Structure 1
Amino acid sequence: MAIYPVILCGGAGTRLWPASRDHRPKQFLSLAGDLSLFQETIARVAPLTGAHGRIVVVAGRDHASSIADQLDDADAVLLIEPVGRDSAPAVTAAAEWIARQDPDAVALFVASDHHIPDAAGFRAAVLEGAKAAEEGRIVTFGVRPSEPSSAYGYIQPDGPGLAPVKRFVEKPDRRRAETYVKEGYLWNSGNFVVRADVLLTELEAHAPEVLRTVRQAFPAGDGGSTALDETFSEAPRISIDYAVMEKSDRVSVLPVGFGWSDLGAWDAVAATGEADRGLWIGGGGDGANLVRAAEGMVIATAGVSDLAIIAEPDAVLVCHLSRSQEVKGLVERLRKISPRHVHGAASEEDVLEIRARAFDDWVRFNALPLWATTGVAGDGGFYEAIDRTGAPVGDFRRARVQARQAYVYSAAGQAGWAGPWRRLVTEGLERFETTNRRPDGLYRTRVSVRGEVLNDTASLYDQAFVLLAMAAAASAGIEPGLMGSRAQALREALEGLAHPGGGWREDASHPHQANAHMHLLEACLAWEAIEPGGAWAGMADTIVGLAERAFIDPDGGFLREFFDADWRPAAGEAGRLVEPGHQFEWAWLLTRWGRARSDDWSAGAARRLYDAGLRGINSARGVAVDEMDDGLAVRSGRARLWPQTERLKAALILAEDLPGGHAGHALKGLQAYLEPTGLWRDKQEPDGSFVIEPAPASSLYHIAAAWLQLRETLKL
């Protein structure tokens, strides 16, 4: 039997304010142990997948980053909702995805925020219920009540053991709850197991509009993590209980005896006995209390009992545990008075604004001046690196570094930087033209500091950056005519590298690759902005077409790196390489291209690429790692600087259209690499330490591009 556990990550946990907020709901908090409720759920259901099943997580766009942070090494598929529409559309999306992989598979639907200490007992109940599910039943798990409670809904079974459901009832008052318990009703856990095709059949019968809309929201390709498109927002807002469970004649209930709680309010959290956090000093007259103090805070009590005292950096709750359900009303009042305190102590906008100011200052006052002086040679050429003592490094010059530095200072000048940017660009490009231009119009890869040829290869990657530097210079007003004619000559010279199957060949060990095309697309977009509607636009369209049909996996929505001569994934490990940084970078570029073309495909593709890149975020360090495989599992924990800039650029540009890009967190990850001097560290090891080496000049291009996107987004 193939079991696909589906973890539903909806719910705001309002009654657990101030710990639970909109940006960090309760499923991502450690409320009853060291793990978050989401991590507990993953650990609880993972053994059920066996050899053929797979975990599926359904969540909103705003929480995709939190999920990626907490998945760790778990093999899971993410279905990302553009907007929450209650449980029925979420359940439908998971059932549809599973049915496309394995129509006979059994799906186990569980909430991400329930506390079940007896994981083995839970799994035994699931396997028992799955046997009936294989025969076509929808089996929901009814928890034997430990006491009358008005916090839960109830199920009336039509007999002992596994039995048909006689009726579902909503949360009762205390008196009615006592009656239900005496009459053998069960708590409705909301968890159930069903064959995917059976659930889709019942949805077709009882909630056809939900099924139709969700199916339309699936993008092409369905084998991996999927960002559902905006059609999903048109689905009826309805729970799965109302949509199917209360109408279907296939529903049975299995009584279970394992401990269970949805930890819906602070009294339920206190009942676990594992919820106290932080430094608390109690007096001799204190009774039982629940106390949670934020890091760096201390709570002292004297002579109090049965209180919940929850202290966050920006908000404190004190309530009697018996009145925990009333917290929701307090939050609704607070939402009108101070919504920031409902969203979170530091909202995404707050984090981004504060960090953006510091980053902008660092670029303008530290990095650009340092590299404009120490990083420049007397002949106008740019050095390869600067070491920790402030000394320039390198007895050679690579084409990509010379072009990138010229681009940076052209862009800095346009952004209002007051340094000598015009001189730096003019002298740098003229020196480069003299030493690196080949007779065929292409530019060689490497020369010595005296201009001697060290490597006469004309790399496609390098040509892309030469074109980008020329476009930036022209845009900044530095001899636009000359730059345009040089760029046209280079574009024509690239015909010698044209591939008969589309695109261009790279003169390297991997001649058919996505990376060089990515930077060529960036250069084409820059030139198209100067010369709209011409050859540059056609070149850009060619590259995007190649990305759509070859670079981007049609099922998983992620981008591979290397290909064979027919633009199919290369053999062996090279063809399986997936770089998180390039997922972000392509997402950024496709968004820009799509806006210029009013193209719908690019928006969905960019979002899927971004979501794939999030799988490469290391939760402990908050950074994007270097490498994954085509199963989106991390294969290298090292994290260079440049993927952090690309994550930031993508988060920013996507947030302009749809909130939830987590740009503030991306900027925080990048800033960990930056030093006050204007230098940076390039390589972070898996243990969080940095490799001690000179700061490479090539990184300034990545930093500057992120800085420019940050300025543009904040201006919007």
Structure 2
Amino acid sequence: MAFYPVIMCGGAGTRLWPASRAARPKQFLDLTGGESLFRQTVRRVAPLAGADGHVLIVAGVSHLPALRRQLADLGVPAVLLLEPEARDSGPAMAAAAAWLAARDPDAVAAFVASDHHIPDAEAFRAALAEAGDHARQDRIVTLGVQPTEPSPAYGYIRPAGPGAAPVAAFVEKPDRDTAARWIGEGYLWNSGNFIVRAAVLGEELAAHAPEMAAAAAAAARTARPDPVDPERVLTLGPVFREAPKLSIDYAVMERTDRAWVLPVSFAWSDLGAWDAIARVADGPAGGGRWLGEPDSGCHIHAPAGVTVATVGVRDVAVIVEPDAVLVCALDRAQDVKGVAQRAGAGAGDARLPPLADAATAFAVWMRTAALPLWSTLGVEADGAFAEAIDARGRVPVAPRRARVQARQAYVLAHAGAAGWRGPWREVVRCSLARFAETNVRPDGLYVTLTAADGRVLDDTAALYDQAFVLFALAAAARSGIEADAARARAHALWATLATRRLPQGGWREAGTYPYQSNAHMHLFEAALAWSAVDPAGPWNALADEIAELCLTRFIDRDGGFLREFFSADWSPAEGPDGRLVEPGHQFEWAWLLTRWAVLRGRTDAEAAARRLFQVGARGVDAARGVAVDALDDQLAVTSARARLWPQTERLKAALLLAERNPDDRAAYLAEAAAALAGLELYLRPNGTWRDKLNPDGSFVDEPAPASSFYHIFAGWEQLAAAAAVLPELAGADAALA
């Protein structure tokens, strides 16, 4: 019989507030001065899986990004079974047992908590192996820990005899005097670990909790593969929400006649409160610094960069978080749960869903830092836009690229249309007027590069730049900035571009890579923008032409990924150029194709977009939580550097796909939350950002490039659109007004 460690990741750890929250429960935190409890648990139980088994992890859908990050470098094969809604330990174990039994009728499951402290991993594994022998005799075995003190923090088990024995009774947490009496009578601490054949647990659930068993089994049968990692991540079917919300103790263990307990004597703690943490922690945790008396019995938890000093106090916990500080006597640690409940109802901790909370913070940064900075310091005296701003708010002197002028005009015009009250209208009007003076060629196309005095430095008319000029003009028309003139300029530009269409379809780009997908992507985006404000123009036909080129040529027919560079007949280019796959462009095309597919009713294009998103996700470095720059056509990483812009494209695509795919909404929203968390790594509080994240986690020291603002702002736009329609984002304040 194969052995399957099943790690249970439920619980919010409210007695460990303010470090443990619903969005970041205790199992994912460094609470003891080492690695997270979850990672310790994975390392502890993985050797038990052997060649025929595997590790199964049961967690909430909102935990998926944290799970991916924490599993990234452990090298442990694991299957993630995600709950669409927390229903307590009974339904979670029932679903896992049903899923295992359907795949291996003889499976022996060891259900272990993800947040316990067990320093002797070898002794723990030996106990599980011994319990497995009893489980193979159709017993449900729990580990009973030999008490070391009369603790009122734990439930207790009364065994029917010495050694491995039937359970005579499970009893709730007692007072200290009762606990002392029970210990004298041979009671054991209830560790909450269970070892049982999956089929046996199913039988007992059917007998004692039939509604739970039926809902959990149906949820396991209808589990949906994750759209990003279908082989290893599954979300239980929505019927899981109908399972009665009960612990496994109430549902089965207190009713079954198959319950056995195996006494164990290794050190164990469920780390349920700060006093328990203090007993096992190796100095201050969380990365912070403590100035105090080592023998004072205090426990300090603070983030990196924070110093906590204590003078003249003993046996207290000081827990520092960015939005809350807890100071409590360690002998009152069990009372923290009440404080956490009161804090959760107050203004200091609105308890928004994690993505909604992050969306609100992102919008605040946009309207109070980024937009004010780039509409003032980011605008030159003659009305042109600056190329960059450094971290100290200074503007380096640099030539002016056409794409930056167009992108910044788009950002501010759309910000104004969204209700932002800054000086957007006059800034956009002046910038477009200046741009028309300095950048238009005699043939109506726009030059690539000019000097600050207006001199042309490079008169190349790149397709990429023409696309962004069209995009900026569409933004001006949409915002009511000389709309008729913007439309006339766009039509004139298109008239020239139309004459340059290639016989085989598409356009030739200037420079080293004449046949590429990227320039077409931005022309596609401009066409979609213009079709919304000028539906009678040529834009719908242009969008359709590029979409078909993407679906038939740019996307590899077998692999479903989008290539970057091509030969003249739109077959893949020779050599490494033809094998280049950029995760950011997989996400960006997925977002654009989905928008186009919705307009045209093209389910095939939506399917292609979902596949592109899957490919892009293969380029996410779980350890850093970011999408890297480049893969090859075998989807192996060829550049682990991670620029800012792929993070925004991952966010946009995940949010739109969440809207369009309700059955996979939770998975896509988890991706969106992870993408936004990755993006936040790059953003500075003053409205600037870093652009390039190195593989070692350091950033390239350089001014913030203005060209990134287009990506950042488009990410905000999609986030605001999602907040208006998705109930999971209902609490977000994503507006710019």
TM-score normalised by structure 1 residue count: 0.72
Question: Is the Cα contact below 8 Å between 2:226 and 2:234 reproduced in 1?
Answer: no
1:327 maps to which of 325, 332, 336:
336
Matched ranges for 1:313-324 at <5 A = 314-319=324-329, 321=331, 323-324=332-333
Match of 2:310, SS state, is strand
Among candidates 98, 117, 120, match of residue 118 of structure 1: 120
Note closer, same or farther for the CA distance 1:29–1:537 as it changes in structure 2 (3 Å cut). farther
Question: What SS class does the counterpart of residue 328 from structure 1 fall into?
Answer: helix
1:53-108, Cα deviation, whole Å (9 max, x unpaired): 55444333444444444444135554444432212333355456666877766544
**Residue 392 of structure 1: aligned partner:** 398
* Aligned residues of 2:99 and 2:221 also touching (Cα < 8 A): no
Matches within 5 A, 1:414-433: 414=417, 417-425=424-432, 428=435
Structure 1 residue 263 and structure 2 residue 271: aligned?
A: yes
SS at match of 1:301: coil
| 1:364 counterpart letter in structure 2 | L
Distance 1:579 1:140 in 2: 49
Note the C-alpha offset of 1:637: 4.0
Once residues 640 and 52 of structure 1 are traced to their aligned partners in structure 2, the CA distance between those partners, rounded to angstroms, is 41
Gap runs ≥5 in structure 2: 660-664, 724-733
Secondary structure of residue in 2 paired with 1:670: coil
Letter of the 2:111 counterpart: F
CA distance in 2, matches of 1:517, 1:134: 62
Q: Give the direction of change, closer, same or farther, for the CA distance of 1:568–1:111 in structure 2 (3 Å limit).
A: farther
Q: CA deviation at 1:640?
A: 1.0
Cα separation, 2, equivalents of 1:485 and 1:655? 35
Counterparts of 1:228-267 in structure 2, within 5 Å, are 232-246=240-254, 252-267=260-275
| Greater mean alpha carbon deviation, residues 589-598 or residues 52-61 | 589-598
Q: 1:495 to 1:251 in 2, by over 3 A?
A: farther
Determine the C-alpha separation between the residues in 2 that align with 1:612 and 1:78.
20
Distance 1:134 1:208, change over 3 A: same
Q: 2:290 aligns with which of 279, 294, 311?
A: 279
Tell me whether 1:212 sits opposite 2:224 in the alignment: no
Matching residue within 409, 414, 433 for 1:411: 414
Q: 2:710 matched to which residue of 1? A: 701
Give the aligned partner of residue 682 of structure 2. 670
What's the offset of the Cα at 1:208? 0.7
Map 1:461-472 onto structure 2 (within 5 A).
468-469=471-472, 471-472=474-475
**Whole-Å separation in 2 of the counterparts to 1:517 and 1:236:** 53
Offset at residue 118 of structure 1 (A)? 0.7
Alignment partner, residue 360 of structure 1: 367
Residue 114 of structure 1, CA deviation: 0.7
Letter in 2 for 1:39: R
Does the C-alpha gap of structure 1 residues 588 and 25 become closer, same or farther in structure 2, counting only changes over 3 Å?
A: farther
Corresponding position: 1:616 with 2:636: no
Gaps of at least 5 residues in structure 1 are: none
Contact in 2 for aligned 1:340/1:347 (Cα 8 Å): no
TM-score by length of 2: 0.70
Q: Distance in 1 between matches of 2:127 and 2:216?
A: 29
The verdict on how the C-alpha distance between 1:154 and 1:42 changes in structure 2, with shifts beyond 3 A counting, is same
Residue pair 1:581, 1:613 contacting (<8 A) in 2 also: no
SS in 1 for 2:714: helix
State the distance in 2 between where 1:420 and 1:649 align.
Answer: 27
Question: Amino acid of the residue matched to residue 279 of structure 1?
Answer: W
Within the alignment, does 1:476 sit opposite 2:479 as a pair? yes
Q: CA separation in 2, counterparts of 1:195 and 1:575?
A: 52
Taking a change above 3 Å as real, the CA distance of residues 249 and 576 of structure 1, as seen in their structure-2 partners, is farther
Q: Measure, in 2, the Cα distance between the counterparts of 1:87 and 1:376.
A: 62
Partner-residue secondary structure (3-state), 1:43: helix
User: Quick check: 1:58–1:81 contact (8 Å CA) kept in 2?
Assistant: yes
Q: Distance in 2 between matches of 1:587 and 1:688?
A: 28
The AA in structure 2 aligned to 1:187 is W
Partner of 1:530: 533
Inter-partner Cα distance in structure 2 for 1:101 and 1:446: 62
Aligned to 1:691: 700
Which residues in structure 2 correspond to 1:652-671 (within 5 Å)? 661=673, 665=677, 668-671=680-683
Q: 2: CA distance between counterparts of 1:52 and 1:464? A: 55
Alpha carbons of structure 1 residues 291 and 494: separation in structure 2 relative to 1, 3 Å: same
AA matched with 2:217: L
Change (3 A) 1:669 1:155: same
**Distance across 2 between alignment mates of 1:645 and 1:265:** 38
After superposition, the CA RMSD in angstroms is: 5.9
In the alignment, does 2:45 pair up with 1:39? no
Q: Distance in 1 between matches of 2:549 and 2:221?
A: 26
1:300 aligns with 2:311: yes
Do the aligned partners of 1:88 and 1:240 also contact (CA within 8 Å) in 2? yes
Residues 146-157 of structure 1 mapped to structure 2, 5 A cutoff:
146-157=148-159
Judge conservation of contact 2:383–2:434 (CA < 8 Å) in 1. no
Quote the Cα distance in structure 2 between the aligned partners of 1:107 and 1:73: 25
Is the alpha carbon distance of 1:589 and 1:165 closer, same or farther for their aligned partners in structure 2, counting shifts above 3 Å?
Answer: farther
8 Å Cα contact 1:213/1:235 also seen in 2: no
Residue 15 of structure 1 deviates from its aligned partner by 1.9
Q: Name the aligned partner's letter for residue 266 of structure 1.
A: W
CA distance in 1, matches of 2:396, 2:456: 22
Distance change in 2, residues 1:531/1:644 (3 Å): same
Q: Which residue of 1 aligns with 2:189?
A: 187
The residue number in structure 2 matching 1:143 is 145
Q: Aligned with 1:115: secondary structure?
A: coil
For residues 634-669 of structure 1, what are the alpha-carbon distances to aligned partners after superposition, in whole Å with 9 as ceiling and x for unaligned? 775422121343456578889999898378745632
Pairing 1:715–2:735 present: yes
Trace 1:569-584 onto structure 2 (pairs within 5 A). Answer: 581=584
Higher mean C-alpha deviation, range 260-269 or range 346-355: 346-355
Query: Alpha-carbon deviation of 1:427?
Result: 6.5
Distance 1:408 1:47, change over 3 A: same
Q: What is the CA-CA distance between 1:115 and the residue it aligns to?
A: 0.6
Structure 2 residue identity aligned to 1:715: A
Name whichever of 109-118 and 163-172 sits farther off. Answer: 163-172
Amino acid at match of 2:27: Q
Cα deviation per residue 1:496-521 (whole Å; 9 max; x = unaligned)?
Answer: 6679xxxx9999989897x7887577
How many Å separate the matches in 2 of 1:473 and 1:664? 28
Provide the rounded CA distance (Å) in 2 between the counterparts of 1:240 and 1:654.
36
Matches of 2:546 and 2:259, distance apart in 1: 53
Letter of the structure 1 residue corresponding to residue 370 of structure 2:
V
Cα distance per residue 1:452-492 (max 9 Å; x no partner): 88698x7xx78875764454344234336547757987799
Q: Helix, strand or coil: the match of 2:681? A: helix
Superposed displacement of residue 34, structure 1: 1.9
Contact 1:138 1:193 in 2 (8 A): yes
When structure 1 is superposed on structure 2, of 34-43 and 325-334 the one drifting more is 325-334
Q: 1:50 to 1:571 in 2, by over 3 A?
A: farther
Match of 2:91 in 1: 89
- Going from structure 1 to structure 2, the CA distance change for 1:391 and 1:511 (only over 3 Å counts) comes to closer
Deviates further, 32-41 or 73-82: 73-82
Query: 1: CA distance between counterparts of 2:350 and 2:412?
Result: 42
Between 259-268 and 170-179, report the one with greater CA deviation.
170-179
Q: Within 5 A, what are the aligned runs for 1:465-504?
A: 468-469=471-472, 471-477=474-480, 478-479=483-484, 481-482=487-488
Structure 2 residue aligned with 1:639:
642
